[in-house]
Amino acid sequence: MAGEYFITSELLLRDIYAQPTFGNRKKMDILIVDYEGSNTKIIEVKSSQTDQRFPMIKGIPLQNNRVIIFLDYEDKLPKEKPDVYILKAVDWFELMEKLIANEVDRWRIKKPRPKRNHKPRGPDDRRIWVLNHPNCVLREIKENNEIKYIVEDRASKESKEIAIIKELEGKVNWKNPKGVLGIDVPIGSLKQYQVEYDEEWKRLRN
């Protein structure tokens, strides 16, 4: 909530009409509307104070009027402003592609630990599969407004689907275990999207 109100306040101070939304199941955090009402933007705000990451972010759809803003409050005093990272929808989809590739690279070299009270991981687990096929390549297949991510072994041509992203949702749906949605976003992966005061607000006007 602090992050949402911070962004709303900063926009209003710069004569950009912004309205925060309320409710337990809201699908947007902030609305930006110009005076003619022809350029509405929908803003998603994510804030973090610790751990150098934003955990299991579900993201935004691939739509021109969608924006996601990350605010890093770590080591900031109450009177200090957070670090701001602004991503348009196309930026978010490019970032997801990089994060999925980075995740697969980690699976190649690190055996996952079974979590407490969870069944042992079997050979069909996507992480175990990648670990057992260290030379596999990650492929991206786009069809019917979906992006599928598949790992394929170069020698045997065996393959395994590991994730899917629907353009109208903008969130990573991991194929195994079922039902896991979202992806961790390390703050370090956002550096190219960091903006300085007051330049960041120009990105929201256009």
The CATH number given to 2-88+186-205 is: 3.40.1350
Tell me the pLDDT band of 73, cut-offs 50, 70 and 90.
very high
User: Cis omega (within 30 of 0) on the bond before 61?
Assistant: no
Strands 172-174 and 180-181: antiparallel
Quick one: pLDDT band at residue 113, thresholds 50, 70, 90? low
Average confidence (pLDDT) over 84-105 = 96
> Residue 197: which H helix or E strand, with range?
none
Q: Which two tokens stand for residue 145?
A: 């407004």
The model's pLDDT over 114-141, given as tens digits with 9 standing for 90+, comes to 555 555 455 558 888 898 898 999 999 9
Identity at 137, one-letter amino acid code: V
Q: Which among 185, 160, 187 has a CA at the least distance from the CA of 174? A: 160
Averaged confidence pLDDT in the chain: 86
- pLDDT band of residue 198 (cuts 50, 70, 90) is low
Element at 97 (helix H, strand E): helix 89-109
Tell me which of 8-17, 25-34, 73-82, 87-96 is least confident. 25-34
DSSP letters, 6-69, are HHHHHHHHTT--EEE--STT-S-SEEE--TTS---EEEEEEEESSTTEEEEE----S-TTEEEE
State the pLDDT confidence band at 104, using cuts at 50, 70 and 90: very high
Strands 137-143, 146-152: parallel, antiparallel or unpaired by DSSP?
antiparallel
Greater pLDDT, 2 or 36: 2
Neighbours of 187 (CB within 10 A): 17
Residue 23 has pLDDT above 80, yes or no: no
- Per-residue burial over 146-165, b = 16 or more CB atoms within 10 Å of its CB, e = otherwise: ebbbbbebeeeeeebebbbb
Q: What is the pLDDT of residue 136?
A: 94
Cis peptide before 15 (omega within 30 of 0): no
Count CB-CB contacts under 10 A for residue 74. Answer: 12
Beta bridge partners of 53: 186
Q: Give me the pLDDT at residue 51, please.
A: 79
**193 vs 176: CA distance, rounded Å:** 30
Q: Where are the domains of the chain?
A: 2-88+186-205, 94-184
Identify the band that residue 78 occupies on the pLDDT scale cut at 50, 70 and 90: confident
Residue with more model confidence, 51 or 140? 140
With H, G, I as helix, E, B as strand and everything else as coil, classify residue 104. Answer: helix
pLDDT score for 124: 57
Tell me the percentage of the chain whose pLDDT exceeds 70.
83
